[in-house]
Structures are given as structure tokens and as C-alpha cells.
């Protein structure tokens, strides 16, 4: 298994949070492996999104599509843009149950602000981390959003 | 909500959502919170989720399988058809017959689509749907005769505007190139072909897309004949081949899916490229059943459920899920841009100085087949005029 220290995992998550809040999407993509998965299930208890419906289910190519759309000027829910600030806590590392690497579980809270309105999103992340050529990368990021199976407003920004 | 949702037929669910006796789905008809159930008699029932005793909701979870409903306040129990089963500590003094859960007097279905009405005098469902029956048939039969099953999960959104915005939008061919420009940019970016299609599909010597308004506020946007067969296949392949986990563009699809003529079923993952709006709360489009719930004059909940093919290979259903996800839901590449436009319309309509909106596009060129049936070009507002004509009729009918 990939040896990862909690300090190293914390550093990666903090970097990811700042890249997303700074809307540095290219930088964010560089944190992921080529065969990565970024997903948010509809059912918070879903263990495998393959044969279930998801809110987000992106391979790397679709993550690039998502970013291209988001930065095109024609993704109108982000015109004007949302400002986001996210925090995370309760980090716990364990060996990945499926696939290589280490699993990092954390809780998150994100405040999004757009056009005078503030929204709060919360839930937990699960990152599967692998080491490639010495760099620690994200092979899978699962976002479990509280209320993902309930009606949500448009969420074009990234989690 | 009274004049429309309590007077006409309202879509409440698909047969596959309540396949077994005891299956139920929590939903609503206008402001009425209701339960759609499969009764002991094998028939669908629609009852108000309100205990006949002190009014508590008897069911809290959105779906499930139960033998009946028990109010947890004082323990009253009811059957799947709402009939009172038992009152704890004695039933003396009660008028038992009057204490069942209130049931919708009319529940009828067509090709698996279940509708209910609180108006006992409403016309037969098949009369109400008369003009759109062939389109419902086409939607149901599109996937090579495979049985349809609603996916167990749904993508749900809310927006801050009127429910009719979503109904209009499903048959609005005019907005596609503008509201959804970013989707077409993605397709162009990935396949390099989108611009080529746009020039070819505007060539009227090939097939064209149409919109139609029908009786009772129903409407259709039909792109099934757009371009020609070869072009349609190429456009569909491009849309599917970019999905996560899709077969490579040069893959042998029969091998990949393990069935013969797999390309037809693969391409059917986009649905019939025809959108049907059934007044007042059901949109069919792509492979989705879209339920529209008015919450207030300026707040609407939308539920999108993809249709799967339980007898088809898993890989086909996986593709259908991925296709649904790319457009639908709060983080899709299509739906957020629509609801943003609905919200903007709602902002604009706060103006009291300007009273009217403009919805005349195509009025001079549409083909008028009858008072209740008009056909026109895809970018015309013929369907919306039909929807609002019927809306006005219901709103101005005597109570």
C-alpha cells in the first residue's frame, strides 16, 4: 500500500481547498491521476456509483469538460461567479479497501456566495491517494453531500 | 394550484415505481401531499398523506414497501388503499366509513404512466391525452421493445420561478443554441464535429425538426427527422462516445455489449430525440421522466428520473445513467443553465411597469390544423401559446 502520513494528506487537502476556492482549475486537475474519478452519488449511502445515478460522475476527460464549461463564460449559473470558501476536518487515514493507495476520510463545510445570497453545503469527502513518480495524487474523490438526494439549487462550482 | 392541479389529470408515477403490492411513492398533487400505492388488488391507489384522526402525516419516507400505514401519533392504521384498518382502544362512537384516508376519486394509467385527479368529473385519461398518445407510444417503444424501469435514484433541483417555466422549456427549441451554448462548446471541444452538424441540420433539404401544440395544453418538440439517418447516427455517437466509460469510437459494439445489433440499443440511450410536455406536470424527453412540482408561485421542484432497461445488458444501463448525468441534476451541463434562466425571468417579471411578455414567434407561419392543433418550425413559440391557451381556459373556468 502507498505509505502516506497524516501531515502529507492534510497538506494535499489544504492545497486542493485553496486551488478550488481560488478557481485555479488547471492546478486542481494536476492533483489527480490520469485514470481518476470525481463523483457525488445521489444516494449518500451508495458505495459504487457505476450502476447508480449520481449528481457528478466524472472521469478525467469529463472533469476537463466541466472546467471548460465553467470557464467558457456561457455556464450562466456562474455568471456572475460564485465565491466559495471551504474548510475540512476530522481527517482519518486508512488503507484503501478497493484499488491501490490510502483512503482519506474528512468532513467538509463550504460556504458559497453569489449575487447577494449565501449558501452552505456540508458533508464528507473520501479521497483515495496514490503515489506516482514520487508525487501524492488523487485517484478518486468522492463527495457525499448532505441532501444530495433532495432538491438542490444549481451547483456548477466544484466541491 | 386549485384551478389547475385540482381540476385536471396530474401525473403521479410510473408503474415500475410501485411494481409490487405494498410499494409506495410519496408525491403531491398541487398542494395535496399524497401517497401512490400498489394495493392488495394490484391496482394503483392515491391517498392523502394525512391521518383522518388528528391530521398527522402517516408516512415519512419518500418510497418503500409496507403492509399499510400506521399513524404514530395515536396508532390508527390504514390499508394500502387508505381504508381504515383499526382504531386502538375501541371504535365506539366513530363513523368508521368516513374515517379512511381521503383517496383521489380517479386514478388511471396509460402505457405505465399513472395519473390521478381529485376531480371526479374529469374526462377519461385517454381522452385527456388523446393527441399525444402516439408520442407516448413512441417514447415507450423507442428502446427496441425492452421493458422500462424507472431508476431507483432521481436528480432533483429547485428554482425560484414559476412551475410553467419548466413545462414551456421542454418544448422550447429556440433557447437551445443560446442557453446551452456551453454544452455545444464541450461537444465541439471533444469531437470537433458540432459546428459541422449545426450547418448540416439547418439545411432544410434534409429533414427538419418541428414543434406542435395539441389539445389540453400538451405539446411536442420533435427532432426525430432532423438531418438524415447517417447524420443522426453520427451526432448520437458523438454524444455517447464522450461519456465516462463509453466504448471507444471504433469499438465493435456487438462484442462490447454482448448482443446483436448493439448500435441501435446504444444509440437509443439518448431517447427518441423528441420532447413531450403533458400539461400540467410531466415532461418526457431524452430518456427521462421529469416531474414538475409547484411549491409556490415563484418556487418549483423538479425531479428527473432516467428510464432503465432491466432486461438489457448492464453496460447499456450504465451508459444510460452516464448520459442522464451529463445534462441533468444540480451539477449537470444542461439543467443548471435552464434554471438560471427561469430565475432571471422571475427577476425580470418583478417589474410591474411592463405587463406583457412576447411569445408570438412563428404565429404567421405556423400551420393551423385546428383550434387546438398547430405545427411549426422548431424555434417557434407555437407549443408555449398552446400551453397558455389551455392554462387560461382552466384558470377562467367556473369553479
Residues of B in contact with A52 (CB under 8 A): 152-153, 321
Do residue A56 and residue B185 have CB atoms under 8 angstroms apart?
A: no
**pLDDT classification of B205: cutoffs 50, 70, 90:** confident
CATH of the domain at B295: 3.90.380.10
Is the interface score ipTM higher than 0.90?
A: yes
Residue A50 lies in a domain: yes
Does position B195 have pLDDT exceeding 80, yes or no?
no
Higher pLDDT, A16 or A97: A16
Q: Does B326 touch chain A (CB under 8 A)?
A: yes
User: In this predicted model, what pLDDT tens digit does every residue of B55-94 receive, in sequence order?
Assistant: 999 999 999 999 999 999 999 999 999 999 999 999 999 9
Give a yes or no: residue A24 inside a domain: yes
How many percent of chain A have pLDDT more than 90?
92
Domain count, chain B: 2
Distance from CA of A152 to the nearest CA of B (A): 5
Contact B330 A154 (CB under 8 A): yes
Cβ separation of B330 and A153 shorter than 8 Å?
yes
The answer to whether the CB atoms of B157 and A52 lie below 8 A apart is no
The 3-state DSSP class for residue B16 equals helix
B203 at interface of A, judged by CB pairs closer than 8 A:
no
Instruction: Give CA–CA dist A105/B216, Å, rounded.
Output: 53
The alpha-carbon gap from A155 to the nearest alpha carbon of chain B, in Å, equals: 5
Residue B169: other Cβ atoms inside 10 A: 23
Do B100 and B153 belong together in one domain? no
Interface of A with B (CB under 8 A): 37, 40-43, 46, 50-59, 61-62, 65-66, 68-69, 72, 74-77, 149-156
Which member of A40, A51, A61 has the closest CB to residue B317?
Answer: A51
Q: Which residues of A touch B317 (CB under 8 A)?
A: 51
Least confident range from A77-81, B46-50, B137-141, B241-245: namely A77-81
Distance between CA atoms of residues A123 and A145, nearest Å = 5
Do B224 and B332 share a domain, yes or no?
yes
- Report the residue from B152, B314, B325 with minimal CB separation from A54: B325
Output the pLDDT for position B204.
75
Looking at residues A140-146, what average pLDDT do you find? Answer: 98
Beta strands in chain B (DSSP E): 10-14, 23-29, 32-38, 44-48, 63-65, 69-70, 77-78, 84-86, 106-110, 113-117, 149-150, 155-159, 210-213, 219-222, 274-278, 282-285, 288-296, 299-308, 367-370, 373-377
Mark which of B67, B102, B128 sits at the end of a domain.
Answer: B128
- B251 with B372, same domain: the answer is yes
CATH number at residue A35: 3.10.450.50
Residue A72 inside a domain? The answer is yes
Residue showing cell 453520427: B234
Final residue of a structural domain among B99, B128, B157: B128
Q: Are B331 and A77 within 8 A, CB to CB?
A: no
Q: What are A109-134's pLDDT values in tens digits? A: 999 999 999 999 999 999 999 999 99
Of the candidates B156, B179, B340, which has its C-beta nearest A150's C-beta? B156
CB B346 within 8 A of CB B160: yes
* Residue B245 sits at the chain A interface (C-beta within 8 Å): yes
Counting the structural domains of chain A, the total is 1
**pLDDT for the residue A2:** 64
Residue-wise pLDDT tens digits, B4-20: 999 999 999 999 999 99
Asked whether residue B370 is assigned to any structural domain, the reply reads yes
Say yes or no to pLDDT of A85 above 90: yes
Number of Cβ atoms within 10 Å of the Cβ of A13: 21
Which of B68, B93, B128 is the endpoint of a domain?
B128
Classified as helix, coil or strand, B80 is coil
What percent of chain B lies above the pLDDT cut of 70?
100
* Residue in the structure block whose three cell numbers are 402525516: B57
Per the structure, the complete domain to which residue B204 belongs is given by: 130-396
* Cis peptide upstream of residue B280 (ω within 30 degrees of 0): yes
Task: Please check whether residue B329 lies inside any domain of the structure.
Answer: yes
Q: How far is B298 from chain A (nearest CA, A)?
A: 14
The reply to whether A124 falls in a domain is yes
Residue B346: what pLDDT?
96
Nearest to B321 among A53, A77, A149 (CB): A53
Tens of pLDDT, residue by residue over A60-71, are 999 999 999 999
Q: Which domain holds residue A108?
A: 6-145
- Mean pLDDT, rounded, for B44-60: 98
State whether B122 and B139 are in the same domain. Answer: no
Mean pLDDT of all residues in A4-31: 97
Cβ neighbours for A84, distance < 8 A, ≥ 6 positions apart: A20, A21, A110, A111, A112, A113, A157
Report the residue of A34, A36, A43, A53 to disrupt the B interface, i.e. the one with the largest count of B CBs within 10 Å: A53
Q: What residue in A sits closest to B151 (Cα-Cα)?
A: A53
Which residue in chain A is spatially nearest to B187 when comparing CA positions? A65
Does the pLDDT of residue B196 top 80, yes or no?
no
Model pTM? Answer: 0.96
B207 band by pLDDT with thresholds 50, 70 and 90: confident
Q: What is the mean pLDDT of residues B314-342?
A: 97
Confidence of residue A1 (pLDDT cuts 50, 70, 90): low
The tens digit of pLDDT for each residue in B226-273 reads: 989 999 999 999 999 999 999 999 999 999 999 999 999 999 999 999
B318 to chain A, closest Cα gap in Å: 6
Q: What is the mean pLDDT of chain B?
A: 96
Amino acid at each position: 500500500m502507498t505509505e502516506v502520513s497524516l501531515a502529507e494528506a492534510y497538506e494535499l487537502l489544504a492545497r486542493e481547498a485553496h486551488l478550488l476556492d481560488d478557481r485555479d482549475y488547471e492546478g486542481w486537475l494536476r492533483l489527480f491521476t490520469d485514470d481518476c474519478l470525481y463523483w457525488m452519488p445521489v444516494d449518500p449511502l451508495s458505495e459504487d456509483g457505476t450502476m447508480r445515478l449520481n449528481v457528478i460522475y466524472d472521469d478525467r476527460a469529463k472533469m476537463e469538460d466541466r472546467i471548460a464549461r465553467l470557464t467558457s463564460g456561457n455556464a450562466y449559473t456562474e455568471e456572475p461567479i460564485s465565491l466559495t470558501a471551504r474548510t475540512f476536518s476530522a481527517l482519518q487515514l486508512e488503507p484503501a479497501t478497493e484499488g491501490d493507495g490510502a483512503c482519506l476520510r474528512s468532513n467538509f463545510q463550504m460556504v458559497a456566495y453569489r449575487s447577494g445570497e449565501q449558501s452552505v453545503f456540508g458533508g464528507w469527502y473520501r479521497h483515495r491517494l496514490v503515489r506516482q513518480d514520487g508525487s501524492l495524487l488523487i485517484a478518486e474523490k468522492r463527495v457525499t453531500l448532505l441532501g444530495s438526494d433532495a432538491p438542490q439549487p444549481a451547483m456548477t462550482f466544484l466541491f | 394550484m386549485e384551478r389547475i392541479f385540482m381540476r385536471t389529470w396530474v401525473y403521479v408515477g410510473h408503474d415500475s415505481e410501485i411494481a409490487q403490492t405494498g410499494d409506495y411513492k410519496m408525491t403531491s398533487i398541487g398542494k395535496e401531499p399524497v401517497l401512490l400505492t400498489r394495493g392488495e388488488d394490484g391496482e394503483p391507489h392515491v391517498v392523502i398523506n394525512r391521518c383522518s384522526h388528528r391530521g398527522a402525516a402517516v408516512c415519512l419516507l419518500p418510497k418503500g414497501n409496507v403492509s399499510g400505514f400506521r399513524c404514530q401519533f395515536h396508532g390508527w392504521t390504514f390499508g394500502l388503499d387508505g381504508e381504515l384498518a383499526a382504531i386502538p382502544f375501541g371504535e365506539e362512537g366513530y363513523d368508521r366509513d368516513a374515517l379512511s384516508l381521503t383517496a383521489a376519486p380517479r386514478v388511471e394509467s396509460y402505457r405505465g404512466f399513472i395519473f390521478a385527479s381529485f376531480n371526479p368529473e374529469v374526462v377519461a385519461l385517454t381522452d385527456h391525452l388523446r393527441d399525444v398518445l402516439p408520442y407516448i407510444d413512441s417514447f415507450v417503444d423507442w428502446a427496441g421493445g425492452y421493458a422500462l424501469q424507472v431508476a431507483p435514484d432521481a436528480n432533483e433541483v429547485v428554482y425560484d420561478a414559476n412551475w410553467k417555466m419548466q413545462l414551456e422549456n421542454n418544448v422550447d427549441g429556440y433557447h437551445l443554441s443560446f442557453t446551452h451554448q456551453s454544452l455545444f462548446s464541450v461537444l465541439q471541444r471533444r469531437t470537433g464535429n458540432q459546428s459541422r452538424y449545426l450547418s448540416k441540420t439547418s439545411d432544410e433539404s434534409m429533414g427538419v425538426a418541428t414543434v406542435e401544440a395539441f389539445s389540453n395544453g400538451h405539446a411536442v418538440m420533435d427532432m426525430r427527422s432532423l438531418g438524415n439517418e447517417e447524420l443522426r447516427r453520427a451526432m448520437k455517437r458523438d454524444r455517447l462516445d464522450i461519456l465516462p466509460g463509453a466504448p471507444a469510437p471504433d469499438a465493435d459494439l456487438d462484442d462490447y455489449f454482448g448482443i446483436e445489433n448493439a448500435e441501435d440499443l446504444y444509440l437509443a440511450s439518448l431517447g427518441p430525440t423528441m420532447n413531450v410536455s403533458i400539461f400540467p406536470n410531466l415532461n418526457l424527453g431524452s430518456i427521462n421522466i421529469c416531474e414538475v412540482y409547484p411549491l409556490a408561485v415563484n418556487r418549483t421542484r423538479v425531479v428527473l428520473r432516467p428510464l432503465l432497461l432491466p432486461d438489457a445488458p448492464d453496460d447499456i444501463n450504465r451508459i444510460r445513467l452516464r448520459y442522464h448525468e451529463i445534462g441533468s441534476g444540480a451539477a449537470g451541463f444542461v439543467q443548471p443553465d435552464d434554471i438560471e434562466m427561469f430565475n432571471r425571468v422571475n427577476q425580470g417579471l418583478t417589474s410591474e411597469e411592463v405587463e406583457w411578455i412576447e411569445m408570438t414567434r412563428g404565429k404567421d407561419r405556423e400551420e393551423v390544423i385546428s383550434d387546438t392543433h398547430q405545427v411549426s418550425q422548431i424555434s417557434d413559440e407555437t407549443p408555449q401559446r398552446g400551453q397558455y391557451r389551455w392554462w387560461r381556459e382552466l384558470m377562467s373556468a367556473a369553479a
